Amino acid sequence: MIHSYSLIMSSHKRSLSLMLLTGQLVALAAAGPPYCLPGSPCYPSEASWSQFNATVGGRLIKTTPYGAPCYAATYNADECLSLAQNKGKLAFRDSLPAALMYTNWEQTADLSGCPVPDLPTDGSAPPPVNAICTLGGMSNYVVNATGVDDIVASVQWAATFNLRFRIKNTGHCYAGRSAGEGSFSVWTVHMNDAELVDDFVPKATSLAPQTVISAGPGVNVGGLYKFGSDNGVVTIGGFTQTVGASGGYILGGGTGPLGPKFGLGVDNVVQFEVVMADGSRHTVNEALKPDLFWALRGGGGAFAVVTRAYIKTYPAFKTVNTVSGQVVCQDNSSYGEMISVMVDLQVAARNANQTGIWETDPATRGLALVSFATFTGDAETVDQSLAVYHPITIVPGCQPFLATGQFNGSGSWLAAYNNVVPILDAGGTVGLNLFSTSRLISNDLINDPAGREKIKQFIITSPVPTIIQNAVGGATNQVSPDATAVNPGWRNVFAFMDGPIAGPWQGITATQNATLEALSTSQTATFGTAVYYNEQQPANVDWQDSQWGSNYPRLLSIKRKVDPNGVFSCRNCVGSEAGF
Ligand SMILES: Cc1cc2nc3c(=O)[nH]c(=O)nc-3n(C[C@H](O)[C@H](O)[C@H](O)COP(=O)(O)OP(=O)(O)OC[C@H]3O[C@@H](n4cnc5c(N)ncnc54)[C@H](O)[C@@H]3O)c2cc1C
Ligand SMILES: *[C@@H]1O[C@H](CO)[C@@H](O)[C@H](O)[C@H]1NC(C)=O
Ligand SMILES: *[C@@H]1O[C@H](CO)[C@@H](O)[C@H](O)[C@H]1NC(C)=O
Ligand SMILES: *[C@@H]1O[C@H](CO)[C@@H](O)[C@H](O)[C@H]1NC(C)=O
Ligand SMILES: *[C@@H]1O[C@H](CO)[C@@H](O)[C@H](O)[C@H]1NC(C)=O
Ligand SMILES: *[C@@H]1O[C@H](CO)[C@@H](O)[C@H](O)[C@H]1NC(C)=O
Ligand SMILES: *[C@@H]1O[C@H](CO)[C@@H](O)[C@H](O)[C@H]1NC(C)=O
């Protein structure tokens, strides 16, 4: 195997080498899980890795655990202090080839890894950790891709050796799908170019020309909003700036503040460019590979590597209003009343075109809120926007700290978004051990008084924060349930909820697991079993059904056709029953 690979590498004709390699892949038809892992005789030698490095322009990284300076054998107080100070910063984590946003997935199930301790309260360097520091769940080798050729070479390399292969973009996945012990990954986060294309017609279709943003796989939400603003357009996108807008976000659904206006991320992509499991490059849209196009819109990252997404744009808003801040209550009964009032006003807020996100904090009996109202014509005043939330500001025993903002002109969306980013970032702390478990909140449930009562009781009694994204429904409900691969439940959804369950920096504890199980049980009793694929930690639910419902059988059959050898795999991804 290694011999023939060297042969290919020494060929100067790329097309010939692709043909040879494709032939070899056919011969390896038995490949798939269990994958060839480091330490096994099938694993490439250092010399082979070096040869491979030359084919990716020297962009192959042999990774080391970034937390090493905090461990006794490799301790360095200054470096450890800096790690402890920076580990919660999104940009810092984004810059590391072998790190995720949540550290629990950086470790293996038996807690092997190299997590960075918390910063001591006095601000000094954490003392040395007396434990072995290992790569844990992170990749041993990473290609820091700068172009599609790097991705083609990486996929072919993984397929040739039957490596455990991962596509890592920003590492935001709550299910650790972009990592895996002993894996080899292609890192796409730096392929973040964007281009505005006027009069774009998806190849081979007769769709009406439209203006789209052609986005590399590393373009993130903040980047997409900024690029749109610079070009006088708006697009879908999430709440957090660093989420990969054309990677995992759009492949798994894609929700955000503009959802009720424009739909899910999957409803806003008109074409992809991909690298398939055999290393071939293809354009995918409703006319070209329509089954794959369907699967990529909600089926997640198990079908192909997306190298470009063409995302719909809309004319810039004239005005965007924001309402944001907190309401904090002095005791449990006033907190319970405030939550009850907040749940009751959700439908009215949506009818008033407010969309946003709110998060409870049972520990401080508070609620943090970000809400947007967007206008293409005459705008309402900020006082009119604020009035929607008036009921939670007058609950006896609770104190409101709500602020408003108004932004006009073609940059109004970005300005409004930037205005509330500090609150969003504060609510989405990273660099810690955290599970997230979600459920969809259907229109039927929220519109039924008994359903609203159940939702209130769930939130009031939850031992952990509850995050409600009042940012779906509307346009997301105007798409047929089988038009894309997302759970059909999204097409009759009002909002969705997440329950974050944090644990200590050392790793997952039995208590954390038990809290997850208990929370999941009460979520199912309240909301049912449908979850958001991108924000999910399976517990007590059938992951295939809860993530995709009746769309799963079709997804699995497409997976078997486009990736018969299981080159692409990840936890609780389509086809992962076979191993990942
Ligand atoms: C703080 C925070 C805030 C969030 N906010 C939102 C939000 O507002 N709205 C929302 O919808 N979601 C949100 N999410 C969830 C987010 O959508 C998921 O974490 C998503 O998986 C991120 O995709 P990524 O590419 O950035 O991350 P990664 O972890 O790098 O990748 C996630 C998955 O996608 C696959 N993948 C990535 N790129 C590609 C590619 N080019 N081709 C094929 N597969 C690929 C990976 O293999 C992996 O399976 C948030 C997550 C966090 C941590
Ligand atoms: C790949 O090549 C570059 C440039 O020569 C080098 O810096 C890097 O260390 C190499 N990576 C590996 C894993 O050998
Ligand atoms: C990855 O490549 C980008 C350029 O595309 C570079 O800026 C960055 O420093 C590289 N990261 C690492 C860890 O090598
Ligand atoms: C308030 O609720 C919390 C969480 O449910 C509970 O721990 C606490 O004991 C309650 N306090 C009072 C005064 O009832
Ligand atoms: C909400 O938006 C819709 C669609 O733009 C509009 O018809 C309606 O009047 C708006 N409602 C309010 C209360 O502004
Ligand atoms: C936005 O435009 C409206 C209508 O022209 C105007 O009344 C309002 O004062 C403007 N707001 C800001 C913040 O400039
Ligand atoms: C938590 O649950 C996971 C999955 O069931 C398991 O692998 C792990 O060992 C558990 N951890 C602890 C500390 O109980």
CB-ligand 3 contact for 146 (6 Å cutoff): yes
pLDDT at residue number 13: 30
Residue 29 has pLDDT above 50, yes or no: no
Contact 465/500 with Cβ under 8 angstroms? yes
Beta bridge partners of 305: 275
**pTM to 2 decimal places:** 0.94
Of the residues 147, 166, 187, the one at which a domain ends:
187
- Does the pLDDT at position 17 exceed 70? no
């939400």: which residue's tokens? 221
**Domain harbouring 113, CATH code:** 3.30.43.10
Q: Which residues contact 29 (CB under 8 A, 6 or more apart)?
A: 564, 565
Same domain, 295 and 164: no
Q: In the predicted model, is pLDDT for residue 441 greater than 50?
A: yes
Residue 312, pLDDT above cutoff 60: yes
CATH of the domain at 220: 3.30.465.10
User: Residue 5: its pLDDT value, please?
Assistant: 33
Same domain, 141 and 260: no
Domain final residue pick, 262, 284, 315: 315
Closest ligand 6 atom to 407 CA: 13
Cis geometry, peptide bond prior to residue 34 (ω within 30 degrees of 0): yes
Tell me whether residue 371 is in a domain: yes
> How far apart, in whole angstroms, are the C-alpha atoms of residue 102 and residue 149?
30
Mean pLDDT across the stretch 156-163?
Answer: 98
State whether 67 and 34 are in the same domain: yes
| Packed helices 221-230 and 412-427: angle between N→C axes, nearest 10 degrees | 170
User: Would you state the pLDDT for residue 539?
Assistant: 86
510 close to ligand 7 (CB < 6 Angstrom) = yes
Provide the pLDDT confidence category of residue 11 given band limits of 50, 70 and 90.
Answer: very low
Going from the Cα of 513 to the center of ligand 7, the distance in angstroms, rounded, reads: 6
- In this structure, the answer to whether residues 34 and 160 fall within a common structural domain is yes
**What is the per-residue pLDDT for 26?**
37
Q: What is the DSSP string of 192-221?
A: --EEEEEEE--TT--PPPEEEEEE-TT-BH
* Residue 474 domain flag: no
Nearest CA to ligand 4 atom 14: 332
Query: How many separate domains does the chain show?
Result: 3
Tell me, in angstroms, the distance from the centre of ligand 1 to residue 384's CA: 35
pLDDT tens digits along 107-126? 999 999 999 999 999 999 99
Assess if residue 431 is contained within a domain.
no
| Residue 487 confidence (pLDDT) | 98
Strand, coil or helix: what is 454?
helix
- Gap from CA of 483 to ligand 3 centroid (Å): 38
- Nearest CA to 305 out of 287, 292, 318, 290 is that of 292
Could you give the 3-state DSSP secondary structure of residue 506? coil
Q: Phi/psi of residue 258, each to 5°?
A: -95, 10
In terms of domains, do 213 and 183 share one? no
Q: Give the model confidence (pLDDT) of 213-230 as tens digits.
A: 999 999 999 999 999 999
Which structural domain, as residue segments, surrounds residue 162? 27-187
Q: Within 6 Å (CB) of ligand 5, which residues are found?
A: 352-353
Q: Does the pLDDT at position 235 exceed 60?
A: yes
Place of tokens 């290694």: 2
Mean pLDDT of the chain: 94
CA of 301 to the centre of ligand 1 (A): 10
* Contact between 210 and 189 (Cβ < 8 Å): no
Q: Give yes or no for a contact between 547 and 524, defined as CB atoms under 8 angstroms apart.
A: no
Ligand 6 geometric centre to CA of 221 (Å): 27
Residue 27 has a pLDDT of 38
Question: Residue 378 is part of a domain; what is its CATH number?
Answer: 3.30.70.100
The terminus-to-terminus CA distance of the chain in angstroms comes to 23
